[in-house]
Amino acid sequence: MRLDKFLKVSRLIKRRTVANEVSDMGRVLVNNTCAKPAKQIKENDIITIEYANRTVKAKVIKVPTGNVSIQEAPTLYELID
């Protein structure tokens, strides 16, 4: 699954266009490497999102095949401190 779609489906970022913009600005890292929106995400990848005032680090637990419900979205990743 593409990085931008995973960020939207997992609800780490609300909209896919925003996920594209943030990735293009270089604020999304996958395994400590700057990632483009089309980067393929797999299980056990570490995604770091740099917001203006905080940084979110998440480990991918499961990559869905399509859209998921709001209740299922938090089970796709695990937040890391």
Domain residue spans in the chain?
3-80
3-class SS string, the chain: CEHHHHHHHCCCCCCHHHHHHHHHCCCEEECCEECCCCCECCCCCEEEEECCCCEEEEEECCCCCCCCCCCCHHHHEEEEC
* pLDDT given for residue 67 in this prediction: 83
CATH class of the structural domain 3-80 = alpha beta
Which tens digit of pLDDT belongs to each residue from 3-50? Answer: 999 999 999 999 999 999 999 999 999 999 999 999 999 999 999 999
* pLDDT given for residue 79 in this prediction: 96
* pLDDT given for residue 71 in this prediction: 93
Q: Sign (positive/negative) of CA torsion 59, 1, 71, 28?
A: positive
- On the question of pLDDT at 81 being above 80, the answer is no
* pLDDT given for residue 74 in this prediction: 93
